[in-house]
Amino acid sequence: KDEPLVIGFETSCDETGVGIVRGETLLVDAIASSVDEHARFGGVVPEVASRAHLEAMVPTIERATRDAGVKLADIDAVAVTSGPGLAGALMVGVAAAKSLAVALGKPLYGVNHLASHVAVDIVEHGPLPEPTMAMLVSGGHSSLLLVPDVTHEITSLGATIDDAAGEAFDKVARVLGLPFPGGPHIDRAARDGNAVAIDFPRGLTTGRDVERHRFDFSFSGLKTAVSRWVQAREAAGEPVPVADVAASFQEAVTDVLTRKAIDACRSNGVENLQIGGGVAANSRLRAMAQERCDAAGITLRVPRPGLCTDNGAMVAALGAQMVLKGRDASPLDIPADSSMPV
Ligand code: KG4
Ligand code: ZN
């Protein structure tokens, strides 16, 4: 009962998330999304996202506290994503968190969005092995992170040099005429497709750039290859086999992601891999990662899909770790840092 009760706000992109945890136990994960408002633009529109956060913030806090059966007065700490993300979107969450911290007279913890994608696995699967290798694959990031302790000194081993993995899913979905965000639609379409029908390129796995970019990713060449392949079909007046293209594209992405993640574990002597971010919801990625980790003797942890995409629980989870590990609270004048490094 003396475990800290922590509320976390996430507004870095298009999800308004409010999570509440007690220690390492998740009590509630309330979310409001503006994704439908962005769909017709084919991507997240920052101004639209900020306005949606402003409208959703307080109702989502109310829903979270009601569903968790807790009073705001009982909260021990307030955590918020302070970066990286969309500047105007972050500001809404940061302003709300500061206000609540001041009103309650409780500490504020500004946390890193990437680190919280890793921390959420603690409320799902228990304490994180230290060190853990984390692969974060979302609409905005594709990173390999060496995590000695989720509250402290995370090192980025590599990242995408062009598109993020989720961005590639979204762009390829568009080429195939599937709705935004495309990841779940490609995942579904791929189930009826042949993953070895088309041999799409695996970026930064061969050639002279490999050594310098061993733990980096590149997905823009793959996206272009898919787009050219589809255009050639259309130009020839032939039907596009959407399921096969989706499955073959998805296979190329997951092949590269899992290969590099396991290489990163091996070369750093790390026996635990955690995968997070929206793309970690992908069914093929989850299956392939499990197969390859089993073969390599690596323990894999992936949160349930709802905790892989952006949410408030991850922020509360990291905030609680900050409290439990005795980390310093943030000053009340912290900025929203849109390009915050991990
Ligand atoms: O983590 P997230 O919710 O937001 C960011 O921080 O970016 O990730 C969103 C991304 C989108 O690009 C979406 O298409 C992708 O995650 N995504 C998926 C799946 N579900 C969501 N990609 C592949 N397969 C999925 N099942
Ligand atoms: Zn995210």
Check whether residue 135 and residue 226 sit in a common domain.
yes
- Report yes or no on 332 lying in a domain: no
Q: Which range (123-132, 207-216, 222-231) has the least confidence?
A: 207-216
Q: pLDDT by residue (tens digit) across 6-59? A: 999 999 999 999 999 999 999 999 999 888 888 888 888 999 999 999 999 999
Does residue 208 surpass a pLDDT of 90?
Answer: no
The annotation status of 185 as a binding-site residue, yes or no, is no
The residue range of the domain holding 90 is 5-119+308-324
pLDDT for 41: 86
Check whether residue 19 and residue 82 sit in a common domain.
yes
- Report yes or no on 342 lying in a domain: no
Query: Which of 208 and 153 is assigned the larger pLDDT?
Result: 153
* ipTM reported for the complex, 2 dp: 0.98
Distance CA 218, CA 326 (A): 38
Q: pLDDT by residue (tens digit) across 111-136? A: 999 999 999 999 999 999 999 999 99
Residue 72 burial (10 A CB sphere; 0-12, 13-18, 19+): middle
157 three-state secondary structure: strand
Query: 30 — phi, psi (to 5°)?
Result: -100, 140
Check whether residue 301 and residue 314 sit in a common domain.
no
The annotation status of 117 as a binding-site residue, yes or no, is yes
**% of residues, the chain, pLDDT over 90:** 92
Mutate to test the pocket of ligand 1, among 283, 309, 314 (most ligand atoms within 8 A of CB): 309
Q: What is the mean pLDDT of residues 227-242?
A: 97
Q: Which of 111, 82, 143, 118 is nearest to 6 (CA)?
A: 111
Looking from the CA of 339 toward its CB, the CA atoms found within 13 Å total: 0
> Domain holding 206: CATH number?
3.30.420.40
Check whether residue 227 and residue 91 sit in a common domain.
no
Check whether residue 300 and residue 320 sit in a common domain.
no
Give the list of residues 6+ apart from residue 250 with CB closer than 8 angstroms, or none: 169, 186, 187, 190, 195, 282, 284, 285
Check whether residue 67 and residue 182 sit in a common domain.
no
Query: 203 — phi, psi (to 5°)?
Result: -60, 140
- Report yes or no on 31 lying in a domain: yes
- Report yes or no on 201 lying in a domain: yes
| DSSP letter for each residue of 255-281 | HHHHHHHHHHHHHHT--EEEEESGGGG
Distance CA 36, CA 222 (A): 27
- Report yes or no on 102 lying in a domain: yes
Q: pLDDT band for position 160 (50/70/90)?
A: very high
10 three-state secondary structure: strand
- Report yes or no on 297 lying in a domain: yes
Does residue 1 surpass a pLDDT of 70?
Answer: no
Check whether residue 299 and residue 220 sit in a common domain.
yes
Q: pLDDT by residue (tens digit) across 96-112? A: 999 999 999 999 999 99
The beta-strand segments (E) located in 87-174 are 108-112, 132-137, 142-147, 155-159
Give the list of residues 6+ apart from residue 262 with CB closer than 8 angstroms, or none: 273, 292, 293, 296, 298
Could you tell me the sign of the dihedral formed by the alpha carbons of 217, 223, 229, 232, in that order? negative
- Report yes or no on 176 lying in a domain: yes
pLDDT for 150: 97
Check whether residue 147 and residue 223 sit in a common domain.
yes
Check whether residue 201 and residue 190 sit in a common domain.
yes
Check whether residue 144 and residue 280 sit in a common domain.
yes
Mutate to test the pocket of ligand 1, among 138, 172, 186, 258 (most ligand atoms within 8 A of CB): 138
Check whether residue 26 and residue 173 sit in a common domain.
no
- Report yes or no on 224 lying in a domain: yes
Model-wide pTM > 0.90 = yes
User: How many domains are there within the chain?
Assistant: 2
The annotation status of 326 as a binding-site residue, yes or no, is no
Rounded to the nearest whole angstrom, what is the distance from the C-alpha of residue 314 to the centroid of ligand 2? 10
132-137/108-112 β-pairing: unpaired
pLDDT for 130: 94
Rounded to the nearest whole angstrom, what is the distance from the C-alpha of residue 137 to the centroid of ligand 2? 8
pLDDT for 225: 98
What atom of ligand 1 comes closest to residue 141's alpha carbon?
7
Check whether residue 63 and residue 165 sit in a common domain.
no
Contact 50, 16 (CB under 8 A): no
